[in-house]
Amino acid sequence: MTAPAPRLLVLGGTAEGRALAAACATRPGLETISSLAGRTSAPLLPHGPVRVGGFGGADGLASFLRSERITAVVDATHPFAATMTDNAVTASAAAGVPLLVLRRPGWTERPGDDWRRVPSIEAAAALLPRLGGRVFLTTGRQTIGAFAGVDECWFLARSVEPPAPPMPARLEVVLDRGPFTVEGERRLLAGHRIDVLVTKDSGGGAAKLTAARDRGIPVLLIDRPPAPAAEQVATVEAALSWLAGLGY
């Protein structure tokens, strides 16, 4: 019986997902499809075929894997895209397709940092007024509503696209997309007199954390969701090695 032609589904939306799709394009015989959630109107597109939009939960994803004859899945979504990752674990098992989770490492506290870790956005909103009054909020536009009732604070929120209500009463929004520089982050913190930074432990570029450390600003850091029940690697190179082990 002839083995099915290798078809890889990359659940993307991250720099790692784009790098993996580009690297896979150089592998003869491997067809790679990248899937994006579609939460931004002008996403950075990876190399090769791209699918945009949801699957309809784990059952919908499993149906897609079967109908498109997908032979392997790499979940390279954002570290906080817990629902998508859970669906990928369930769907891959149901369809009998090997799954790898590609996650960049989280951040590690360094000397001079003043970090307060919390388990959720809601916990961050509850603790925030005790840490500062002028907040740089970098948790993404879909989470801004959690801070709508924190009337004691003024917020500077940065996102790729404008947030939708509910929003804090005192809010200024900066529309921008990284990567960001340490010097640029220092200017932003100083220019807006920021006295506390709120962010997720997403890993990757840490310019804002360096700038906060340099200015002695406390950081309210939201912990990642629990690790998925799947094989996990931290680099694109390790993901390519895993694919090589499958014969891709």
pLDDT in tens, 37-55: 877 777 888 989 999 999 9
- Average pLDDT of the residues in 87-105: 97
- Which distant-in-sequence residues (6+ apart) come within 8 Å of 232 by Cβ? 100, 101, 102, 103
Q: What percent of the chain has pLDDT over 70?
A: 99
- In this prediction, residue 102 has a pLDDT band, given cuts at 50, 70 and 90, of very high
* 74: enclosing H helix or E strand: strand 72-75
Tell me the whole-structure pTM to 2 decimals.
0.92
List the domains of the chain with CATH numbers: 7-105+226-245 (3.40.50.720), 115-222 (3.40.50)
Average pLDDT, the chain: 95
First and final C-alpha spacing in the chain: 18
Would the pLDDT of 9 be above 70? yes
- In this prediction, residue 1 has a pLDDT band, given cuts at 50, 70 and 90, of low
Residue 171 Cα distances to 31, 79, 150, 186, 212, angstroms: 45, 26, 11, 20, 20
pLDDT of residue 205: 87
Which amino acid appears at position 218 of this protein? P
Q: What percent of the chain has pLDDT over 90?
A: 91
pLDDT of residue 92: 98
- Average pLDDT of the residues in 98-109: 97
- The pLDDT tens digits of the residues spanning 132-158 come to 999 999 999 999 999 999 999 999 999
3-class SS of residue 157:
strand
pLDDT of residue 2: 62
Determine the angle formed by the axes of helices 182-191 and 207-215, rounding to 10 degrees.
50
pLDDT of residue 5: 83
Peptide bond into 28 cis (omega under 30): no
Structure tokens at 96: 């009998």
User: Per DSSP, which regions of 81-207 are E strands?
Assistant: 99-102, 115-118, 134-138, 154-159, 171-175, 196-200
pLDDT of residue 233: 98
Would the pLDDT of 94 be above 60? yes
Q: If 0-12 CB within 10 Å is exposed, 13-18 middle and 19+ buried, where does residue 130 land?
A: exposed
Q: What is the DSSP letter of 145?
A: G
- Average pLDDT of the residues in 197-225: 96
Would the pLDDT of 70 be above 60? yes
Q: What is the DSSP letter of 152?
A: T
